[in-house]
């Protein structure tokens, strides 16, 4: 069991089976006409061949750069930008975004186009998309889904890219769990060590109650002393000590009691 339940769910309906957790997912791309109506198909063709003027003309005439298909499939759908990403065609991605394709738009199955690039572990495409749609322009929920998805899938290279591009290292998810806490929940202790080295805070409280110090003590109890994994977690504990974490750590119940005591002190108007 983990301390904080991982919220990100991978919808793998359109992906071929993979053999390892960190292997890049493989996408079997069908011809464009399989997914799109004739007008959208023409738009995709124009983008794929680098014809910006034709793409703009088609959009002006009613082609939807955020169309999705095939219509008979509920989950295995693509938008034009997904198609360009799956084809690894950056020129097409640029043209489609220039005429209105939204890299943040939700889609059943492959997810948002930005997430789709990350699931495919296409660092070059993800980096290119972030050039066109920088981190500081992303909606908060989109940024969170990318960052915490990179921990969960996992895509450590993509996470490092997101942080290099400006994602906050102490970004919190909906449960107020940080990237560091998510890495420990995923038992990716190498990533947790890297995050600490990059400056991740040890003074956070996931859900307002669980500290990194408590989490590391929790995981120390799960592994046999002297085992490689136990030694990794023990090393994390020492790193946290060096960064100001206090051990033994307060439990969630103790944090709640301490907070209640402070709230009830005379003169506290909260």
CA dihedral (132, 135, 139, 140) in degrees, to 10, reads 170
Handedness of CA 19, 25, 31, 35 (dihedral sign): positive
Q: Is the pLDDT of residue 125 over 60?
A: yes
| pLDDT number for residue 76 | 76
Give the C-alpha separation, 117 to 132, whole Å: 14
158-203 tens-digit pLDDT: 999 999 999 999 999 988 899 999 999 999 999 999 999 999 999 9
The CATH 1.25.40.20 domain(s) of the chain lie at 1-167
| pLDDT number for residue 25 | 62
| pLDDT number for residue 207 | 76
With tokens 């079997």, the residue in question is 28
Identify which of 68-77, 109-118, 253-262 has the greatest average pLDDT: 109-118
Q: Is the pLDDT of residue 265 over 80?
A: no
Provide the total of helices (H) and of strands (E) in the chain, helices listed first: 14, 0
Q: What is the full DSSP assignment across 49-87?
A: TT-HHHHHHHHHTT--TT--B-TT-SSS-B-HHHHHHHT
Q: Which CATH class for the 1-167 domain?
A: mainly alpha
Q: Is the pLDDT of residue 56 over 70?
A: yes
Q: Are 37 and 80 in contact (CB under 8 A)?
A: no
List the end-to-end C-alpha distance of the chain, in Å, as a whole number. Answer: 35
| pLDDT number for residue 52 | 98
Write down the pTM of the prediction.
0.84
Q: What is the full DSSP assignment across 7-54?
A: ------TTB---SSTTSPP-B-PPPHHHHS-HHHHHHHHHHHTT-HHH
| pLDDT number for residue 8 | 25
Angle at 112 between CA 108 and CA 115, to 5 degrees: 120
Give the C-alpha separation, 126 to 163, whole Å: 13
| pLDDT number for residue 11 | 26
């Amino acid at each position: 069991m983990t301390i904080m339940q991982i919220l990100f769910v991978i919808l793998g309906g359109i992906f071929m089976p993979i053999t390892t957790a960190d292997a890049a997912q493989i996408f079997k791309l069908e011809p464009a006409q399989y997914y799109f109506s004739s007008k959208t198909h023409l738009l995709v063709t124009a983008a794929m061949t680098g014809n910006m003027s034709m793409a703009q003309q088609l959009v002006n005439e009613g082609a939807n750069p955020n169309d999705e298909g095939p219509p008979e499939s509920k989950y295995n759908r693509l938008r034009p930008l997904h198609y360009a990403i799956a084809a690894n065609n950056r020129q097409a991605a640029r043209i489609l975004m220039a005429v209105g394709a939204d890299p943040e738009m939700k889609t059943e199955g492959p997810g948002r186009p930005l997430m789709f690039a990350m699931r495919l572990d296409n660092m070059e495409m993800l980096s290119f998309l972030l050039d066109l749609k920088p981190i500081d322009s992303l909606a908060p929920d989109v940024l969170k889904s990318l960052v915490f998805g990179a921990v969960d899938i996992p895509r450590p290279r993509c996470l490092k890219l997101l942080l290099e591009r400006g994602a906050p290292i102490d970004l919190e998810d909906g449960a107020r769990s940080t990237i560091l806490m998510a890495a420990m929940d995923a038992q990716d202790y190498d990533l947790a060590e890297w995050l600490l080295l990059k400056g991740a805070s040890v003074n956070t409280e996931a859900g307002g109650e669980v500290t990194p110090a408590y989490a590391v003590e929790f995981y120390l109890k799960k592994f046999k002393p002297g085992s490689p994994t136990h030694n990794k977690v023990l090393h994390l504990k020492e790193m946290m000590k060096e960064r100001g974490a206090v051990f033994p750590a307060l439990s969630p119940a103790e944090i709640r009691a301490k907070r209640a005591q402070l709230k009830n002190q005379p003169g506290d108007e909260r």
